[in-house]
Structure 1
Amino acid sequence: MKSWHIPYSSDAYKELSDLCRQYGIKLIYKKNNRVAGIKKYDKSLTSDINIGTVSEKTESALKDFKQFMVTKRYSNNTVKSYMNSIRKFFKFYPDKSPDEITLKDVNNFIENYIIANNLSVSYQNQLINALKTFYVKIYNKKLNISLIERPAKTRYLPNVLSAQEIKKIINSIDNLKHRAIISLIYSAGLRRSELINLKIKDIDSCRKVIKISDSKGNKDRYVSLSDKILKMLRDYYKMYRPVYWLFEGAGGNKYSTSSVRNIFEKAKRKAGIKKKITLHGLRHSYATHLHERGIDIRAIQELLGHNSIKTTEIYTHISNKQINKIKSPLDDLDI
């Protein structure tokens, strides 16, 4: 009897089910952990890495690495993501200290953990970046991570919402605070972290600008404050009376990122939006709509706080500014 093994996940089951359906094969799922001669699949190496440990020497080096990033003012997100990925890497080799790791070990981890578990290209690049920084700053270039081949770049175009879809989402929100949060993100193209870090003093109603402090890349910038948002924020302030943070959570603390995400997801469902799009899609939509209105790409780069113009240029591929000027040859056919 032949047998095939697939990852134990809902995505893998759906893919297999779709494949079987194409050939008229009915797939029956039956949970049975006691089949003779077959061990239950343990989600590959993921579970072992999540619960494993590292050596004392490695743990000490990881603490030094974290301290280095914190003192160099790396963003909290970068520190967290680098530490998570590099810790998983060293858990993969629990009996090796950092100075015993070879380039072959790195490639082995990429093949047998990252690729085997279908993790993203961005995760792979993140790990390589983390290891490169770790070995240059903590282990004085004892391992030349630059020799590791990076995955081929894939250009994914983000999904965006139309102006009418944005309107539906905002109008579906009854709570004034929630409506102000979603409206502000779209109106200024804010990242979620930038929204929750806004203080009352960052709103400059006289100059009609909002100051974004310590954003990605530890940079400050100004974005425009729309008249509609200013009115909405004034109404919100009268009702909620925040003290320090523009949007306060429990006990006067910062509003949580998960709460902001939940507001968007709930509003999207209520508005009947079926597109697969996240909260960050509001930022993508903002940039795309600006480009469609003829705003210069350099100005959009400044508003978004991008280091490289290449990052901003992706919106030229999403925008319908040029596409709508093209007439389909089908329209000239007498059909």
Structure 2
Amino acid sequence: MQPIIYEPFKEARRIKIFVPYELESIRNNVKKMNGSFWHPHQKLWSVINTSQNFESLKKMCEGNYKIEKDIRFTPIPSVALNQNAIEAMFELEKALVLKQYSSSSIQVYKKMFSVFLAKFMQRNLKEVSKEDIEGFVYELIKKNKISESYQNQLINAIKAYYEHALKMPREYYAIQRPKKTVNIPNVLSKKEVYNIIQSPQNIKHKAILSTIYGSGLRISELLNLRIADVHSADGYLFIKDSKGKKDRKTILSEQLVVLLRAYYKVYKPSYWLFEGQSGEKYSTTSVRSIFRKAVKDTNSNPWATVHTLRHSFATHCIENNISMRHLQNMLGHSSPKTTEIYTKTIEINNKTITSPLDSLLKNITLQL
């Protein structure tokens, strides 16, 4: 059995390595490397992507290893659209605007629809069949290795054009979708969250991370918070026009109120709760940069994202026995089934649950 070292792409943050179970000494050496992390679903270890770490991994394997390239999505080249395609794009945009889709959603639909148009713009789009579209999607899966998410977004854009812009019957374009996978969200431990939100020295950065976790917010919801949305006397944040154009209320921590008041005295925002230097909304890029630095400085889960704080909020609420109905409302989920996924992320070990074997053998000495 050989370890497999996956050659990372230039911009990749991690180097992945598969270590067969029998090679315990190599596995122990990988564990000792700074920033090493075990990925249970992929059955792989990873370390920080540096040339020094790549050479160290090869040295640990003492010449008995295999190097493979990571498999990734092959970019689909953009093509200049002809007049027929430009008109179709305008019809799609008009239909989505009339349906009051958000500007960010419209941009995603247009981007995905341009991929479809690049293939079919020389044809009469009204004559493109369901079979033609499924053949096109199949080709992208095989040649470009598009993800399930990309496939779904592409189908959504195509169906939006035919059903909303051309008013075609929904059944006519019932395009085959990928089998839905049920992924368990990535979650940070309470200790990791504490370390991350305490890491920034800047009080504004600390307030941003604490607000996302303390109220279970999406990054866009944080950026859209106004000063008027903080209802400290009643203990809630008002979230306006969140995903699905829904308003909602979510919990406002007493500790967060103290932190926000201290932050306000220093920065004195005028309209948005978190403003940039010129008084505009704080940027998504800046929030992500704050989070990435905090993760790195605390040596926390390197695969965590800002959204992981929201997942962690939901999981920790369940562990604190918050009702699913309250949690659903705080997260802004339309369906309780969406919220129930967090029942799979709660911490399971012999400190939180008693095994029936322990109950069975309580006060009994095992005979070995």
Structure 1 length normalisation: TM-score?
A: 0.83
Alpha-carbon distance change, 274 to 68 in structure 1, aligned in 2, over 3 angstroms: same
Aligned to 2:194: 167
CA distance in 2, matches of 1:310, 1:28: 39
Aligned to 1:39: none
Query: Which moves more between the two structures, 52-61 or 163-172?
Result: 52-61
Match of 1:325 among 340, 345, 353: 353
The AA in structure 2 aligned to 1:212 is I
Query: Which moves more between the two structures, 65-74 or 277-286?
Result: 65-74
1:210 counterpart SS class: strand
Q: Is the 8 A contact 2:240 2:247 kept in 1?
A: yes
Q: Deviations over 1:211-247 (max 9, x none)?
A: 1000001010011111111111111111001111110
CA distance in 2, matches of 1:84, 1:169: 35
Aligned to 2:143: 116
Query: Which moves more between the two structures, 184-193 or 158-167?
Result: 158-167
The AA in structure 1 aligned to 2:154 is L
1:211 counterpart SS class: strand
Q: How many residues align?
A: 310
- Cα offset, 1:165, TM superposition: 0.7
- Cα offset, 1:161, TM superposition: 0.7
Q: In the alignment, does 2:186 pair up with 1:176?
A: no
Aligned to 2:223: 196
Structure 2: give runs of 5+ residues left out of the alignment.
1-7, 21-60
CA distance in 1, matches of 2:276, 2:101: 25
Alpha-carbon distance change, 161 to 28 in structure 1, aligned in 2, over 3 angstroms: closer
Structure number with the higher helix fraction is 1
Q: In the alignment, does 2:185 pair up with 1:158?
A: yes
Q: Is the 8 A contact 1:291 1:321 kept in 2?
A: no
CA distance in 2, matches of 1:56, 1:233: 52
Aligned to 2:103: 76
Structure 1: give runs of 5+ residues left out of the alignment.
1-7, 30-42
Q: Deviations over 1:44-69 (max 9, x none)?
A: 6x343x2x022212211211211221
Q: In the alignment, does 2:175 pair up with 1:148?
A: yes
CA distance in 1, matches of 2:123, 2:17: 38
Q: Is the 8 A contact 1:190 1:283 kept in 2?
A: yes
Aligned to 1:218: 245
CA distance in 2, matches of 1:205, 1:16: 49
- Cα offset, 1:9, TM superposition: 6.2
Aligned to 2:157: 130
Q: Is the 8 A contact 1:128 1:145 kept in 2?
A: no
Q: CA RMSD in A?
A: 3.1
The AA in structure 1 aligned to 2:106 is V
Aligned to 1:266: 293
Alpha-carbon distance change, 172 to 132 in structure 1, aligned in 2, over 3 angstroms: same
Alpha-carbon distance change, 28 to 183 in structure 1, aligned in 2, over 3 angstroms: closer
Q: Is the 8 A contact 2:316 2:346 kept in 1?
A: yes
CA distance in 2, matches of 1:275, 1:313: 26
Aligned to 2:94: 67
1:222 counterpart SS class: strand
CA distance in 1, matches of 2:267, 2:130: 56
Aligned to 1:96: 123
Match of 2:81 among 54, 79, 90: 54
Aligned to 2:283: 256
- Cα offset, 1:92, TM superposition: 2.5
CA distance in 2, matches of 1:16, 1:321: 26
Aligned to 2:57: none
Match of 2:313 among 281, 286, 291: 286
CA distance in 2, matches of 1:265, 1:16: 23
1:217 counterpart SS class: coil
- Cα offset, 1:18, TM superposition: 9.0
CA distance in 2, matches of 1:325, 1:276: 27
2:269 counterpart SS class: coil
Aligned to 1:105: 132
The AA in structure 1 aligned to 2:151 is Q
CA distance in 1, matches of 2:201, 2:271: 24
Aligned to 1:3: none
Structure number with the higher strand fraction is 2
The AA in structure 2 aligned to 1:175 is N
Structure 2 length normalisation: TM-score?
A: 0.76
Q: Is the 8 A contact 1:53 1:94 kept in 2?
A: no
CA distance in 2, matches of 1:213, 1:328: 47
Match of 2:233 among 190, 201, 206: 206
Alignment of 1:15-34 (within 5 A): 24=64
The AA in structure 2 aligned to 1:60 is E
1:220 counterpart SS class: strand
Aligned to 1:309: 336
2:214 counterpart SS class: helix
2:111 counterpart SS class: helix
The AA in structure 2 aligned to 1:229 is L
